[in-house]
Structure 1
Amino acid sequence: MKRSFLTDDHEMFRKSLRKFLEKEAYPFYNQWEEDRMIPRSFWTKMGKQGFLCPDLDEKYGGSGVDWGFSAVINEELERVGSGLVGVGLHNDIVVPYITGYGTEEQKQHWLPKCVTGEIITAIAMTEPGTGSDLANIKTTAVLDGDHYIVNGQKTFITNGIQSDLVIIAAKTDLNAVPKHKGVSLFVVERGAPGFSRGRKLDKVGLHCQDTAELIFEDCRIPRENLLGEEGKGFIYLMEKLQQERLVVAIAAQAAAEEMFRVTLDYVKSREAFGRPVSQFQNTQFKMAEIATEIEMGRVFLDSLITDHMAGENIVTKVSMAKWKLTDMAKKIAAECMQLHGGYGYMEEYEIARRYRDIPVASIYAGTNEIMKVIIAKNLGL
């Protein structure tokens, strides 16, 4: 199927990236899962080959290409495994906050090292008692001379252990009305006094992706590490969530396509009652249903990527895509595991890993229930 936003340059880039991943990622991915960590050396290799933040301006070390190249990166990383989600978060979720709201001095200071992989980034919004309700976060930042003093705790932070630079949301005005006007964003660097890592969280899936708790105890952050204007943090977060949710939708679609591919190969080769499993009508119907869902998802997703690259507002449709495609991927994971029979429950088969990796996509970047709230609100309900 010809894809609307892809050019020959994108396809050449994909071939180069795939060749790189076949050498540097696929052979080691199972070991990374066992180690519960992706080595920093992989990040620097990605940077050296131009696979980190390619859409950044050349003056910051990027390639200055369109966002279609980032879409290709997210697809190919997901085909390796969902645990590589932290790279997409770095490229397309965290770094855009710096490019969008940072001062020129901040950009010059941090962005070049984000491109090389010397700096790994994270974003810390979620707290132990606060998920999607960002207006009610408890972390505070109080100005004290040339520093802000930050106190609070964050959890479920992707890249939490390895991150060198973390964008955090904190309350700078506890009395703001409405409450969201009291939220500001700050950049916290590794080694900041009072900043520590808590547990590396033991997740059901995404084993190689380091997820952690972050702790701020009278953490001193230089005043110049305020990102954008004080009190506008909530607005900044809302403005950037469109791309974050699109990244999640891209990963869900790619995962669904990958699960279909491995299952198609399996049912063709596996025999039962003297013939391939693929010859049974139930298998054929299930595979036909999955193929149809995937095809419809791909067409919708590609139209969204095209519109996003054109600068259009796709908040409603991207909310639809985020919930629908992640929900679809969960259902496909269950169907494909069933079609693998007992082998689908064995760790050496890829479908088992996919089955445990996929469900969280319907939770992070805003739960699917929140997506439906957004859709309903924008429908005028």
Structure 2
Amino acid sequence: MQGEMLAVVTTGTGSYDKLVFKRVPMPVPGPGEVLLKVLAAGVNNTEINTRLGWYSASVTEGTDVTGSEEERPDGGWNAATPFPFIQGTDCCGEVVEVGVGGDALLLERRVLVRACMRQHGFERMENIWMGSDFDGAFAQFVKVPEAEVFPVDCDWTDAELATIPCAYGTAENMVHRAGVGAGMRVLVPGASGGVGSALVQLVKRRGAEVIAITSAEKRDAVAGIGADRVLTREDDLLEALGAESVDVVIDNVAGAGFPTMLKLLRRGGRYASSGAIAGPMVALDMRDMYLKDITLIGCTAWDEPVFRNLVAYIERGEIRPLLAGTYPLDRIADAQRDFQTKRHIGKLVLLPPA
């Protein structure tokens, strides 16, 4: 398949003017690759953070910044960002072409892309991300390794499926790494966001008790997706829950609230994180960590069972999508602006032109 396609090209570090909707060459799949027609692509923190250069060591504030004109060559997911390139980490697509020697049975199948790719195998932690390290799904077509596409048989819409890969993959990876199981008490700060709302469902399906933290206006909605107890950001957590009262904290908020999380953990408890939306710089009292035998778990590279688990949960009806809204691909700036207001629950999704 030759020719051109429409895509959003991110041209560098900066504000929304760095998102350029234009015609670009159609990708051509090589051996071991497939070409997908993008049916829907989710919006994530990581695309905004990469455009803003937030991953740079020079940035110390949270992710609620509105834009930056500074060039940050170390501001990408894996340090350097390949500007100009096409972002888009979440992809629901249809296989329209396979590379030489590829599996023709994949043609015309609706698939999800495992966005976090362990190119050296699951014994090593090195990883690359679609839409951060190479061209992603903010386009009409995208090429990816054949091994990273997973057919899904369900009655969800394309947009609903596009809510899954990054948020639910990240959440399931933390749940898996933290060893969450039946009877545990798990605290989830930031429970209304894409990852947080996924965590509520994924922790609950394993039989654990979910204590969620969100804003006051979102309490009922978070309770509605399965949280056993919902607290607000204004609550005194130590007073409400008590010291050493939870088994696991899964926290993508960090910032000023981090010290309290360790005080809430029981002895031998586990703290897992894959983000820091309230700020990456935290105060750590080492005594809380070592005197209580707490395990701190950093989570970026997805473990081997994670994505296959998610596909199985979808097909068995054990989780549900939380689609907050859709936008045409050329309105990506509007979608990202709305994303940063944090008024929604779940995910916003972009729809490329047919």
| Interval containing the TM-score (normalised by the shorter chain) | under 0.3
Structure of larger gyration radius: 1
Structure (1 or 2) with the greater strand fraction? 2
TM-score w.r.t. the length of structure 2 is 0.27
Relative to its length, the structure with more helix (as a share) is 1
More RCO (CA 8 Å, sep 6+): 2
TM-score calculated relative to the size of structure 1: 0.26
